Every structure is written in C-alpha cells, then in structure tokens.
Amino acid sequence: MITIATLLAALAPLTAPGNDLTVQRHVIDPKVAALRALYTEGRPVLRGFRAPMLDAAGAAWPIAMPDKNADPKLAAAAELVAKRLSRDGLLATTAQAIEILGPALFAREDHLELLRAAGLPVDWLAYFSGPEGASAVRFLAQRFTDGRSAADIVPELGKLAFAFRATIPGFQVATESGENAIDTVRLQVGNATYYSGAGDGGTVDVARQLFETIPGVRFVASIQETNLAAFQALARGWKITEPARITLVAEPFFVGQWAQDNGKPGIYEEAGARKVATLAPRYASRGEDGASFVPGETFALEGFAATGHRVVQSPLFFQGGNLLPVLDPKSQKREMLVGEAELFRNTTLGLTTAQVLEAFRVEFGVERCLVLPALSFHVDYEMCVRSTPDGLVAFVNDTSAAARLVLEAAIHALEKNGTFSAESAKLSLDDLRTEHYDTFMARVTDAFSTRSVGFGAFPESFAATFAASPVDSGVGNLQRVMLALDVLTAEQTSDDKLRELDLDAHLTAYLISLRRRELGRGKVAQVLAREGFKIVAVPSSSEGKRSLNTVNGVHVQGTYYMPAYGGLFADFDGAARKVFEATLGPDVAVVPILCGESQRREGALHCAVSVLPIPP
C-alpha cells in the first residue's frame, strides 16, 4: 500500500541550477506505476470504477470487464450492471448481481471485491443501511429465501435508509464570490514554451502572467517532466518577485491546463484550527456526454498533496468548473450553483437525483444546491458571481453585445486589409450602431463573398489580416467574426422565418439553436433574479473554441481577475472591463489576464486555476 508519507519521502525538493523556482518530482512506486501504465484516457468499461489514488494508490479497483471464460457468472453480473445500473438503481442492480453470483455466497460476507469486479460502485453501498444497522449487501442477501428472486425483493428496498456522510467531516467548499484572500494558486502547465509568444494567452503565458501579476501568494504548478527544463529556461526571463514562492511539480505523465476541474478547495477544522483541503473527484474526467477518465489529471493531485497540501478523494463525480459556490452577504447562507451534467454523471452510478443533490450538499458543506441547465459546457463559462454590500451579483454572458463589438472590430480590420474603403467602413459602422441590420448584413456579406474560395471557406492569407499582432490568431479571430454574423442573423430572424428561407437544413437548425440558447440564458437569469441575484449582462460569449469570454474569471478580496482576449478584440475586453468596474466600484480592481489561446482551446482563466483561500 502506498501512503502519503511514502509519496512525501519520494518528493524531495530540488533546486535547478540557475533557477530559484523550487522543483519537486512526483515519484510513483513501480508497482503502482505498472498498474497505471495500463490506463488510457476514455470511458471506463466498468461503471463503478474509482481511481486508486493517494492512500489507496495500491488498491485494486478493476476498470475492464471480467473474462467470460475465466468466470462466466462474474462476467454475466458485469454485463447486467453495465446495462441496468443507471436504469434500475444501485440497490436493485446489486440485488440482481447477487442473484447471478449466488446469494449463498453473501450469507456471511459482503464480498465487496466481487461486486466491485462486476462494476458496481461498492463505495456507495456504505451509505445505505438496513434495520439495526445491517449492511446493504447483507440485507439484500438475506432476502433471498424460499425461492424469492431479485424482482421479489424490489418492494423491500425502501427499508434501506440512505445517509451520505461527508468525506472530510465539517468540510466547507471555498466560496468564489470575492470574500476570500488567496493563499495558494494551483496550476497545471500543459506545455514547455509559448504557443506563439508572450501575450498569446496559452497555458504557459497564463502561468507567466499570474506569476508576475499576483504578489505575495504561493503557486504550485504541475508540469510534465519532459516539459520541465524548457519551461524553467523560459521562466528565467520573467519578472517574478520572490521566485521561491513558486513550486513546480514534475509529473511522469501528461497534465492538461484545466486545474479547476480535478479538485475543489475548502475549509475544515482540525484540533481547533481551520485548515485548507482539496476535494478530488471519483476520477478526473472530460466530456459532458458521459465521463471520460483522464489519468494524468487524476493522479496530478497526488503530486500536489506531496507538496504539503491535504487532498482527499470523494466518491462523487464532478468537474470543478460546473460547481460555483457562493456566499450570500445578507443571509450568510452558502449555496452552490450546479450544472445539470453533474447530476447525470452521478445518476449513472445508480443514484437518484435526490440522493445526488443531498450528497453534493453534504459533501461540499453548503445549505443548498441550485441546479442550472447546460447552456454551456460548464457553469463558469456562463457566469461569475460577486458578493457586494447589496447582495449577490451574477455577471452573465451578453452575446448580443458581444457580437456587435466583434463586428465593429471586424469592420476596422476589413478597412485595414483593403476589403472596405474608408467610406464603406463608416457606412457599415453607422448601420450597425443605428440597427439598420438588413443594410449592414448585405454590405458585409457582399464584402466577404469577394474573398471567399467556397461556401464558408476563406484563404489563410485573408484570415491572417484579422490578426493585430504576431501572437494574435487571424484564423481564430475570423471564426469569431463569422460567429458574430451568425448570432446577428439568428437574433434578427424568427424561427418561422428561418424555416421559410431557402437555407440548408443543418444551417437552419444551427441558427435556431443559437436563438434557443439565448432563450435559455434569459430563463436562467430570471431564476437567479427570483433567488435574489442582481443580474448584470457583460459583453461575453460562450461558444466552445469560438468563445470571447470575460466571465470565466477569478473573484478574490479586492480584485477580479478578468479573462481577456487581446489583439483585434482589445476594445472588446475594454468594454467588458468597464461593466465590471462600474458595477463593482473603486474598491475592486479589475485586472485583465490574457487568455486568447486558452479560449481557442475552450477554456479561460477560471478553468485554468484552483484558488486555495487563507483560512478565516
């Protein structure tokens, strides 16, 4: 068994020659490393899989289907679990698995290792108990008498009580509405050098900006060993004060940029002192349609733990960007906005929606979970929340304002690259600002058609003219301009009118989907307003790799670190910044952090960092 003490011993601090950044190496026991070498990114075949990590690093938790030839009964039980767990529920499926494996086998022992091998999430069975404290497995096994079947037992499942217990007793997730000061920032650096140069807003550039911009806090940055030397060499040229406050954890496997998603920090009390811990999910995952296991993101938390930070694994699935905990300054109630995907992720374990919500409430130490529909991949790409003296303010995406600002920037670029004359550019701006959209769209689409080499296709040389600097992305910027034209078209044309137009069926469906997402955003804003949130719309968009997102930032005491795109859309960033500053007032500094390349990879600032607070 590998323990945290073993990992700490293996991670002796090193100092690289000529660089004051502390370096630690995440050394894994060879036996554990051999087991992990078998893991690949993807959906585990066994539904109940839980990543063996931290103190349980050497534990056996099967991920693949059992061999039919070696154990036909176990294989049959595993096939049943794969098909029925989310439909029938954990208890009913466990009863059916016991029936296949043989109830007599479970008369005296729970044989959790056997049920685990069949794909059942056996750790969740511990939260169910029968009369007089009997285990769920024992209770179910004892029901198989006098020829009764699993189907006969189903009516008795209500006798089992569900009571979730917090993995860290007394844990309260750190709220993200601006009340906390920063103690440590956890990062993951997914490359060795810039994507295109300083200011590109990629994984390395975001780290540079944070190291240079946020004084007096500690940083722990996970990075793949193969990227370490080049990253160190680059960092020697940065303007870093107190470099000893930065620790690089060299990992033996690839780690991506998105540190927000594989752990949520919070506060707990131990021996009368308030301390910080990070709660890790069942395993780090990607995707919304199912959960794809990401080994590197999962086990990077061990390296973080070995730097002296407490990390504890939860039985819950979660992606941190889809959980937004806030503190109401008036009622002092702690609430958590939860994206609906987190409910579906956990109901695949055979839990009910009510059980999942209760588990989230208890596990994260909040008074209530408010579930929001999946307008974007994660909640933090749709909004951020700030606690103010007057209450909670939700800053939400204003895609309509965003589209108009993008198109203004595009007109200037078209004038600069010679597509528009000065007069045509002025007329187009006037049409856009005075809402003469038919004239505007006719003028702009005609201009684009002269540069097109096919439907929706343009030469790279044309895209390059939309780049304002060597680190700006002409292709990425042109994609955002085309999206803005789509948004304006969808906004100005009803669903019925779109259906009447002689358009490709897929294009019609796409434009209608843009309209429906906007209706969804309006409904979410109404729900939050009824809950007492003040709604403030900010120029910002959430459209995957074509996003221009300014709400995916970090609120801490006295500051909002706002994701910015830069380049062609510098004025766009400035307009969003003005909204934040006007709303938050002079006591809150709004500090832009360039995230252009990160946004082109479907993330921004909040996605890339996990902020550990100073315990109150």
If one counts the domains in the chain, the total is: 3
Question: Is 273 contained in some domain?
Answer: yes
Residues 6+ apart with CB under 8 A from 34: none
Work out the pLDDT band at 377, boundaries 50, 70, 90: confident
The answer on pLDDT for 13 being more than 90 is no
Q: What is the pLDDT of residue 585?
A: 97
Among 158, 121, 175, 157, residue whose Cα is nearest residue 345 = 121
Question: Is 599 contained in some domain?
Answer: no
Among 210, 481, 482, residue whose Cα is nearest residue 202 = 210
The mean pLDDT value for 565-576 works out to 98
The answer on pLDDT for 2 being more than 70 is no
The answer on pLDDT for 50 being more than 60 is yes
The answer on pLDDT for 165 being more than 90 is yes
Question: Is 44 contained in some domain?
Answer: no
The mean pLDDT value for 387-409 works out to 97
Q: Do 113 and 211 share a structural domain?
A: no
328-342, 379-393, 490-504: lowest mean pLDDT where?
490-504
Give the residue from 109, 138, 162 where a domain finishes.
Answer: 162
**Half-sphere exposure of residue 478: CA atoms within 13 angstroms, side-chain side:** 20
| Percent of the chain residues topping a pLDDT of 90 | 88
- Backbone angle region of 273, left / alpha / beta, with phi > 0 → left and psi within -120 to 50 → alpha: beta
Tell me the per-residue pLDDT of 130-152, one tens digit each, with 9 for 90 and over: 998 889 999 999 999 888 999 99
Q: Do 177 and 133 share a structural domain?
A: no
Question: Is 60 contained in some domain?
Answer: no
Question: Is 492 contained in some domain?
Answer: yes
Q: Which residues pair with 152 in a beta bridge?
A: none
Work out the pLDDT band at 6, boundaries 50, 70, 90: very low
**Half-sphere exposure of residue 438: CA atoms within 13 angstroms, side-chain side:** 1
Contact 528, 585 (CB under 8 A): no
Tell me the per-residue pLDDT of 457-481, one tens digit each, with 9 for 90 and over: 999 999 999 999 999 999 999 999 9
Q: Do 261 and 146 share a structural domain?
A: no
Give the residue from 513, 540, 571 where a domain finishes.
Answer: 513
Question: Is 412 contained in some domain?
Answer: yes
What does the block give as tokens for 554? 């970090």
Question: Is 157 contained in some domain?
Answer: yes
The answer on pLDDT for 16 being more than 80 is no
Q: What is the pLDDT of residue 287?
A: 84
The mean pLDDT value for 27-47 works out to 92
The mean pLDDT value for 427-436 works out to 96
Q: Do 312 and 218 share a structural domain?
A: yes
Q: What is the pLDDT of residue 8?
A: 39
Tell me the per-residue pLDDT of 270-309, one tens digit each, with 9 for 90 and over: 999 999 999 999 999 998 777 899 999 999 999 999 999 9
Q: By residue range, what is the domain housing residue 288? A: 1-38+165-320
Q: Do 262 and 248 share a structural domain?
A: yes
Q: Do 108 and 5 share a structural domain?
A: no
pTM over 0.85: yes
Give the residue from 320, 338, 365 where a domain finishes.
Answer: 320
Among 306, 264, 257, 311, residue whose Cα is nearest residue 613 = 264
Q: Do 26 and 174 share a structural domain?
A: yes
Work out the pLDDT band at 496, boundaries 50, 70, 90: confident
Mean pLDDT of the chain: 93
Q: Do 228 and 143 share a structural domain?
A: no
Q: Do 116 and 177 share a structural domain?
A: no
Dist CA 52 CA 283 (whole Å) = 9
Dist CA 526 CA 513 (whole Å) = 20
Q: Do 289 and 237 share a structural domain?
A: yes
Residue 320 DSSP one-character state: G
Q: What is the pLDDT of residue 10?
A: 45
The β-bridge relationship of strands 310-313 and 323-327 is: unpaired
Question: Is 186 contained in some domain?
Answer: yes
Dist CA 609 CA 255 (whole Å) = 13
Q: Do 260 and 172 share a structural domain?
A: yes
Q: Do 147 and 174 share a structural domain?
A: no
